[in-house]
Amino acid sequence: MKKLYTLVIFAFCQTFAFGQQDKNISQWYHSHVLYNPGSAATGEEDFGFFTNFRSQWLTIPQPGIGMRTNTLCAEFKVPDGFNGVNNFGVGIVAVNDQTGDARFMTTNVSVPINYSLQLDKSNRLSIGISPGFYQQSINPDAQTWESQWNGINYVTRPNVEIGINPSYASIDLGAGLFYQHTTREKTRIYGGVALNHITRQKINFSFGGDRIYMQTVVHGGADITTNKKDLRIQPNVMFFRAGRAYNFMAGVTLEHILKNPSEITTINKTTCINYGFYYRHNDALVTSLGFKVKGVRFGLAFDANLSYLSQATSSVGAIEVYFKTMHLYRKSSTRTKLK
């Protein structure tokens, strides 16, 4: 009975919080291209790679209920031959997650392409689209009906559903805008808006399947220079909505500079430690810890469940680890250095 109660709570909370299973990670601010194709290759680096692993619902006693998510992003700047201050951005984003004893899996792969226009010395605007594909699958053989009476004793039988497709795939499309403003003090302020799943593809497990909701994303943040040369403040906020479901997350990361970069060459790049605190509305408090050594970032985050789902999770919402690399095509003392 306890397992059934836990499963009902989990299913209800998933429906209320998300509406449809979609990419949802706590450290999205390390790779904005996950949600907005307009932000592809808009950082200081010429190309970079980001990967993230998230394990969710670890303490729910029902076997197979936990969710794991794997994320991989790559972004590349392509110089505009007509005007050196503008550039194209090209990338690839792959997200795969799996949950439940039926091994419900979602795979979303897209290719963000954008164009970044330098409006003036301080302002930059990027416009992008993101074609790709969206695939979901289940394993019907993994589901069973427990304690079925066969006339002699109770047995466990396979759950065979007639007319259910084990998987389907369809095209997917997103689009977005991304804006950046840099002050004289080297403070960077940015924000964007994106529409994902514009094609609203059908959830084609059966003939009566509905279509997924289009997702609207609004996000923003900053990398603020302070009076202390060894401290930067990085607030971030994101809101997305799909149908009646929504997600709102906001917080701040403090970055302490342990070693400043060389003023002459790019060999000595900044070494930093950062820690952050974020709140996901009606769900969790997120704490994060990260490091940057030369052109590499890595770290972890922990979601402490605050909603009524904490009865089943013992307040352990999720654990995430990430790894990010940042590279320049060529070294130059006159180029903007990676901070």
Residue 230: give its domain's CATH number.
2.40.160.40
Whether 146 is in a domain gets the answer no
Helix count and strand count (H, E) for the chain:
2, 17
pLDDT tier, 4 (very low <50, low <70, confident <90, very high otherwise): very low
Which of residues 177 and 159 earns the better pLDDT score?
Answer: 177
Asked if residue 61 has pLDDT above 90, the reply is no
Question: Phi and psi at residue 208, in whole multiples of 5°?
Answer: -95, 15
Per-residue pLDDT reduced to its tens digit, 105-147: 999 999 999 999 999 999 999 999 999 999 999 887 766 656 6
Whether 231 is in a domain gets the answer yes
Q: What is the pLDDT of residue 21?
A: 65
Asked if residue 162 has pLDDT above 60, the reply is no
Q: What is the pLDDT of residue 164?
A: 73
pLDDT tier, 101 (very low <50, low <70, confident <90, very high otherwise): confident
Number of structural domains in the chain: 1
Whether 87 is in a domain gets the answer yes
Which of residues 139 and 73 earns the better pLDDT score?
Answer: 73
Burial bucket for residue 83 (CB in 10 Å: 0-12, 13-18, 19+): exposed
pLDDT tier, 10 (very low <50, low <70, confident <90, very high otherwise): very low
CA distance readout (Å), 233 to 34, 76, 82, 226, 251:
22, 26, 36, 7, 11
Asked if residue 266 has pLDDT above 70, the reply is no
Single pTM value for the model: 0.83
Q: If you search the block for the tokens 């940015």, which residue do you land on?
A: 190
Asked if residue 337 has pLDDT above 70, the reply is no
Whether 59 is in a domain gets the answer yes
Per-residue pLDDT reduced to its tens digit, 35-45: 999 999 999 89
Asked if residue 7 has pLDDT above 90, the reply is no
Asked if residue 11 has pLDDT above 60, the reply is no
Asked if residue 89 has pLDDT above 80, the reply is yes
Cα distance between the two ends of the chain:
55
Per-residue pLDDT reduced to its tens digit, 219-234: 999 999 999 989 999 9
Q: What is the pLDDT of residue 57?
A: 79
Contact between 87 and 97 under an 8 Å Cβ cutoff? The reply is no
Whether 156 is in a domain gets the answer no
**Mean pLDDT score of the chain:** 84
Contact between 142 and 159 under an 8 Å Cβ cutoff? The reply is no
Structure tokens at 307: 């909603």
pLDDT tier, 80 (very low <50, low <70, confident <90, very high otherwise): confident
Whether 145 is in a domain gets the answer no
Whether 337 is in a domain gets the answer no
Number of CB atoms found within 10 A of residue 57's CB: 23
Asked if residue 16 has pLDDT above 50, the reply is no
Q: Please state whether beta strands 144-149 and 167-182 pair in parallel, antiparallel, or not at all (unpaired).
A: unpaired
Q: If you search the block for the tokens 């909505």, which residue do you land on?
A: 241
Whether 108 is in a domain gets the answer yes
Per-residue pLDDT reduced to its tens digit, 302-320: 999 887 777 766 778 899 9
Domain span holding position 129: 2-138+161-327
pLDDT tier, 188 (very low <50, low <70, confident <90, very high otherwise): very high
Cα 194 to chain centroid, rounded: 14
Positive/negative CA dihedral, 97, 174, 190, 182: positive
Q: What is the pLDDT of residue 9?
A: 36
The amino acid at 18:
F
